[in-house]
Structure 1
Amino acid sequence: MKTLFIGAGSMAHALMSGALKAGVLRSEEVYVTNRANRQRLDEIMHEFCVRRMNRDTPYDVVVLAMKPKDFHEAAESIRPHLSEDTLVISVLAGITLEHISDRLSFNGAIARAMPNTSAALGKSATAVSFNGNLSHSQKVWTKILFESVGMATEVEEEKLDLITALSGSGPAYIYYIAEIMKNAAVELGLEEELAESMVTQTIAGASAMLSESGLEAGELRRNVTSAGGTTEAGISKLEHHQVRDAFFQCITSAKDRSLVLGRELKKQSLKK
């Protein structure tokens, strides 16, 4: 599959790395371009032994991995690389399948995916949606591509803004919790290095229990929470400070922001 990555940022890097290691892509068939940072382009070409984009050459797959705000400006230069058989894959937050089709003047196969930064370690939780023009083999190949950097699940497009708020932004929420836990431990007298290692391993262990124990989060929590014990005392304070409601609002706000960004980008494109 002759594949062009437009953008050489962290997500393009993670996808290239995972797909090449898994054999989903071959380095001699991968091309890349990056408008803003020539040094970054050279680095990624050297690391993966991939090639610079050929002008006016159609590709089997075009991966849109630039910043969402740069999509409109890049659209015209993307069109020469598309044929009726090209599969376009977007990892651009907030930009709909319909908008991509309209802006590219392209009526072919388009997939829209929302991976997260854990793709760099092969641990992404990716949701992917398709327009009505993909063949069965294109759908299968797209899912295999994203499974090379973690798990991949097909969803209806209207759920992608919520998933952006949940798993797209989700790693930042976990890092925020880790930061708070470490800082609290340090303030209460623990050495910073020890606090950081204990928090990191605690989160890693809890994640493994969630994925490997077969038990739901609520049951795991109850198993740790003895009546009158230390865990119950801590969770009682979280409930008192309405942390549950804070997380609901957090995810709601992130979802709403994704919707707003998508509408703003569409308005900008209509003005041009």
Structure 2
Amino acid sequence: MTTLGVIGGTGWLGGALLRPALAKGFVAAADLVLSSRSGNRAGFEAWPDVRFTTDNAELAARSDIIILSVRPEDVGALDLDLSGKLIISVMARLPAAALTARFKSEHIIRAMPNACAEQGLSFTPWFSTPGITAADADFADGFFACSGRAVRVSTESELDYFTALTGSGPAFIAAFADVMIRDAIKNGVAPDVADIAVRQLFLGAGTWLAGASETPADTVRIFTDYGGTTAAGLTAMLLADITGPISKGLAAATEKAAKG
């Protein structure tokens, strides 16, 4: 029996990853130990066999695999020897070498899920050190697949870029949606109607885009070539250099991920 311990497991990200894994039976409730400083147990009422603790050393002693789901700035408070254990970090900005130095384990996986995990819609890239086994890799693939799609990447620099592209991505999409909502209100649309309209637009567009055979670039070209209102809007956005701010935002987020 393999016991999974999650430090910060009752936080928003820990819960968003764990509830799909529990619901799909990938993780058994009796094999799960969660810790939090507050002792909070909310969100796991459907699985009464999950064990809780406020003592991270106790969690480490009980667990074979440790998931670190805390803010990077809170790692300094974790004084644990995790020698020989598989460590899975879902924290940005802390490289595998730093995790090895702090927790004394050569078995490190770093992953970057996003805020869509609980809905089963996260894209989660993950990177591993040479010390992990095939069984470790299978666990990571299976665990993160419970909350969306998981892809193994070969370098930490690639993971840093995905921290910006898909880890931060839902917030970037929210910023675009907010601009559209505010523009609609400015043009006389009632705020509640504008909110509903734009949310539904992004839901429909995302679902359609995920299943489309055409690439996004093909879609833009098809609508631009067709002419009409969509082409007018796309052309105006492209002439205003919509690509510049997006690229700058991704570059800034990637730099932050890489440098901490």
Distance in 1, matches of 2:182 and 2:46, equals 37
Answering whether residue 124 of structure 2 is matched by residue 123 of structure 1, we say: no
TM-score with structure 2 length normalisation? 0.91
Distance in 2, matches of 1:16 and 1:246, equals 35
Q: Following TM superposition, by how much is the alpha carbon of 1:83 offset from its aligned partner in structure 2, in angstroms?
A: 5.0
Matching residue's letter, 2:244: D
Matched pairs, number: 252
- The aligned residue for residue 270 of structure 1 is none
Distance in 2, matches of 1:129 and 1:228, equals 44
Superposition map of 1:103-118 within 5 A: 103-107=102-106, 109-118=107-116
Superposition map of 1:1-272 within 5 A: 1-7=2-8, 8-35=10-37, 37-38=38-39, 41-46=40-45, 48-49=47-48, 50-53=50-53, 55=58, 57-74=61-78, 76=79, 78-79=80-81, 82=82, 84=84, 86-107=85-106, 109-156=107-154, 157-261=156-260
Q: Following TM superposition, by how much is the alpha carbon of 1:260 offset from its aligned partner in structure 2, in angstroms?
A: 2.1
Q: Following TM superposition, by how much is the alpha carbon of 1:44 offset from its aligned partner in structure 2, in angstroms?
A: 4.1
Matching residue's letter, 1:4: G
Which stretch of structure 1 is more off in the superposition, 26-35 or 200-209? 200-209
- Is there any run of 5+ residues in structure 2 with no aligned partner, and where? none
Matching residue's letter, 1:148: C
Q: Deviations over 1:202-248 (max 9, x none)?
A: 21222122211221001112223355421122122212321111101
Distance in 2, matches of 1:136 and 1:228, equals 52
Distance in 2, matches of 1:89 and 1:228, equals 49
Distance in 1, matches of 2:103 and 2:170, equals 32
- The aligned residue for residue 265 of structure 1 is none
TM-score with structure 1 length normalisation? 0.87
Calculate the aligned-residue CA RMSD, in Å.
1.6
Q: Following TM superposition, by how much is the alpha carbon of 1:23 offset from its aligned partner in structure 2, in angstroms?
A: 1.0
SS state at 2:130 partner: coil
Q: Deviations over 1:109-140 (max 9, x none)?
A: 21100000110211101000111111111101
Distance in 1, matches of 2:153 and 2:135, equals 17
Q: Following TM superposition, by how much is the alpha carbon of 1:73 offset from its aligned partner in structure 2, in angstroms?
A: 1.8
Which stretch of structure 1 is more off in the superposition, 87-96 or 51-60? 51-60
Distance in 1, matches of 2:126 and 2:101, equals 19
Q: Which has the higher helix share?
A: 1
- The aligned residue for residue 269 of structure 1 is none
Matching residue's letter, 1:6: I
Distance in 1, matches of 2:238 and 2:104, equals 51
> Alpha carbons of 1:231 and 1:165: their partners in 2 closer, same or farther (altered >3 Å)?
same
- Is there any run of 5+ residues in structure 1 with no aligned partner, and where? 262-272
Q: Following TM superposition, by how much is the alpha carbon of 1:196 offset from its aligned partner in structure 2, in angstroms?
A: 1.8
Q: Following TM superposition, by how much is the alpha carbon of 1:47 offset from its aligned partner in structure 2, in angstroms?
A: 5.0
Matching residue's letter, 1:13: G
> Alpha carbons of 1:89 and 1:42: their partners in 2 closer, same or farther (altered >3 Å)?
same
